[in-house]
Homo-oligomer: A and B are copies of this chain.
Amino acid sequence: MMTESNIASFDYLIEQFHRLPGIGSKTALRLAYHMISIPQEEALKLADAIAQARQKLHYCRICCNLTDKELCYICTDDKRNAEVICVVEDISDVMALERTGKFNGRYHVLHGVLSPMKGVLPDMLRIKELLARLQDKTVKEIILATNATVEGEATAMYLSKLIKPLGVRVTRLAYGVPVGGDLEYTDEVTLSFAIEGRREL
């Protein structure tokens, strides 16, 4: 490895940074070097943050979003519409949708997408938990907000087939030209969807 320092605890630190996604060996060295250059209490804040996060965080018993309580802050918010559930792949998608401020329902986090190629089968996602939420007939609509990728599409299709027979309305996020996007650089599949889904002005 090109970042060998010959000092065991420094090499170990580099190695641990290098194991993070998207962190190459040069960045790992830079981060390790940063950690020993800054004041001790600053460096230990990251170590503590990791330990604390692992100790306190788990998934909400209802929606499988991240929380440090038994139920997440969305599931316990009475002002949110309990009749609509937006199904997403990951907790980062919840954050992205919350930033819009446009959605007032609840969420359900699948923690992944179906991918037979990568060995991700239905029972490895939080689908059982989603179906359990439809039992008491409170939920009237499921918005499938998995990514617009092949796997996200396949997962949406799979869930749609499971949920529609239960008499719940199933919808999917709209496809179209992204705001600020240039028609010239928009791929033809997206453009086709944008034409099909055109709206009256």
Interface residues, chain A, CB within 8 Å of chain B?
2-10, 12-13, 15-17, 19-22, 27, 29-36, 40, 42-54, 56-57, 66-68, 72-73, 90-92, 95, 98-99
Determine the chain B residues whose CB is within 8 A of the CB of A34 once the complex forms. Answer: 20-21
Contacts A13-B49, A66-B10, A99-B2 hold; do A54 and B36 have CB atoms under 8 A apart? yes
6 contacts between A and B (CB under 8 A): A7-B73, A15-B49, A20-B34, A21-B30, A21-B34, A32-B53
Contacts A33-B92, A47-B51 hold; do A57 and B7 have CB atoms under 8 A apart? yes
Determine the chain B residues whose CB is within 8 A of the CB of A35 once the complex forms. Answer: 50, 53-54
CA distance A95 to B28 in the complex (A): 14
Copies of this chain held together in the complex: 2
Closest residue of chain B to A2 (Cβ to Cβ) is B99
Determine the chain B residues whose CB is within 8 A of the CB of A40 once the complex forms. Answer: 54
- Inter-subunit contact A67/B7 (CB<8 Å): yes
- Inter-subunit contact B51/A44 (CB<8 Å): yes
Determine the chain B residues whose CB is within 8 A of the CB of A7 once the complex forms. Answer: 57, 66-68, 72-73
CA distance A69 to B79 in the complex (A): 60
Determine the chain B residues whose CB is within 8 A of the CB of A15 once the complex forms. Answer: 49
The contact of A36 among B19, B47, B57, by CB within 8 Å, is B57
